[in-house]
């Protein structure tokens, strides 16, 4: 990875978020597109009472209040300054995902799903999500697996540093290939989803110092990739930006309860209202005509 990062040639800024302390850059490595994302790390509380402050430049002071800029003592092993994510080679879909979003609220009717969304989903399966099959069937990332059973594989999300419990973020990828998104769910899936929810709330606390009711389990619509998966985060973690907001995230328990009323057709009979980035391919394919 060192060679790839050192070979990164910057082209343009995709996004910058001052609240989440993240930046996403588009560039090339060996002539192919690459996305480099940097996220400032959480403070190392284990090293207290040693203060990590190094240099101080005062900005102003007023009575008991003082402001300054500072640099911190850092160590890549013990107290890293930032977490780095690299996507290479990056597809146009990746670039669209990390570009600063211009969001619109759309209403996806069952008819619009069948005529526009479903044909698009079919193009985003197969080799496009080969990395998912690598995790499920080829042993990829086996050293990172938290839970593996007949229903799913659970492993840390790439957004999590793997150690800071406050920002715990896990991804649960199911083995079933017949569920691309919540649109494929119906009342017959209720016991299946309840079993997954129960396992997650039981097994994760056995591995991390967190209670089952401190886990936020949710799905995205539209999802980032079309193989059914769930996101599991610490309920105390608020640094998720748009991905945790209404119009994108749907709690698993809400999905289960909704299925009880939708009957055999399930989510394919619902009109779904959600936010979509205008750089998303679906916006161009026809969802722009359904904006509220």
Is 223 marked as a binding-site residue? yes
User: Residues 141, 254: one domain?
Assistant: yes
Q: Which of 197, 152, 194, 143 is nearest to 173 (CA)?
A: 152
User: Residues 68, 178: one domain?
Assistant: no
Q: Which of 5, 29, 28 is nearest to 85 (CA)?
A: 5
Give mean pLDDT, residues 218-237.
95
E strand or H helix at 118, and its extent? helix 118-123
Is 225 marked as a binding-site residue? yes
Which active-site residues does the annotation give? Answer: 229
Better pLDDT: 136 or 60: 136
**Whole-angstrom distance, CA of residue 52 vs CA of residue 81:** 11
User: Residues 18, 155: one domain?
Assistant: no
Concatenate the DSSP letters of all residues of 239-251 into one string: TTGGGGSTTTEEE
pLDDT digits (tens, 9 = 90+) for 143-158: 899 999 999 999 999 8
Is 175 marked as a binding-site residue? no
Task: Kindly report the CATH number assigned to the domain that includes residue 239.
Answer: 3.30.428.10
User: In the predicted model, what is the mean pLDDT of the chain?
Assistant: 90
Task: Kindly report the CATH number assigned to the domain that includes residue 16.
Answer: 3.30.200.40
Is 159 marked as a binding-site residue? yes
Give mean pLDDT, residues 231-259.
90
Is 227 marked as a binding-site residue? yes
User: In degrees rounded to 5, what are phi and psi of residue 227?
Assistant: -140, 125
- What six digits make up the tokens of 285? 């394919």
pLDDT bin (cut points 50, 70, 90) of residue 86 is very high
User: Residues 151, 244: one domain?
Assistant: yes
Q: Domain span at residue 71?
A: 42-80
User: Residues 31, 110: one domain?
Assistant: no
Number of domains in the chain: 3
Quote the pTM value: 0.76
pLDDT digits (tens, 9 = 90+) for 37-81: 998 887 777 777 777 787 888 876 666 667 778 887 777 777 788
């Amino acid at each position: 990875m060192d060679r790839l990062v050192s070979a990164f040639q910057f082209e343009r800024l995709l996004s910058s978020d001052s609240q989440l302390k993240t930046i996403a850059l588009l560039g090339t490595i060996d002539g192919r597109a690459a996305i480099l994302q940097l996220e400032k790390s959480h403070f190392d509380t284990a090293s207290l009472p040693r203060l990590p402050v190094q240099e101080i430049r005062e900005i102003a002071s007023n009575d008991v209040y003082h402001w300054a800029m500072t640099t911190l003592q850092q160590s890549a092993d013990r107290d890293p300054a930032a977490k780095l994510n690299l996507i290479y080679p990056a597809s146009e879909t990746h670039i669209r995902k990390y570009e600063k979003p211009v969001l619109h609220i759309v209403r996806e009717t069952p008819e619009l799903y069948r005529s526009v969304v479903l044909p698009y989903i079919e193009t985003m399966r197969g080799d496009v999500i080969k990395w998912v099959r690598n995790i499920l069937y080829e042993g990829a990332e086996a050293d990172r697996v938290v839970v593996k059973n007949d229903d799913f594989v659970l492993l840390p999300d790439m957004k999590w540093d793997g150690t800071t419990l406050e920002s715990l973020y896990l991804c649960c990828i199911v083995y079933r290939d017949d569920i691309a998104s919540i649109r494929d769910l119906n009342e017959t899936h209720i016991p299946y989803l309840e079993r997954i929810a129960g396992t997650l709330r039981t097994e994760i606390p056995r591995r991390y110092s967190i209670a089952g009711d401190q886990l936020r389990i949710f799905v995205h619509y539209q999802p980032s990739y079309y193989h059914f998966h769930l996101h599991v985060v610490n309920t105390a973690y608020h640094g998720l930006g748009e991905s945790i907001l209404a119009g994108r995230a749907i709690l698993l328990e809400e999905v289960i309860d909704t299925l009880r009323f939708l009957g055999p057709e399930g989510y394919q009979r619902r009109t779904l209202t959600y936010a979509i980035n205008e750089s998303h391919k679906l916006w161009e394919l026809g969802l722009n005509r359904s904006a509220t």
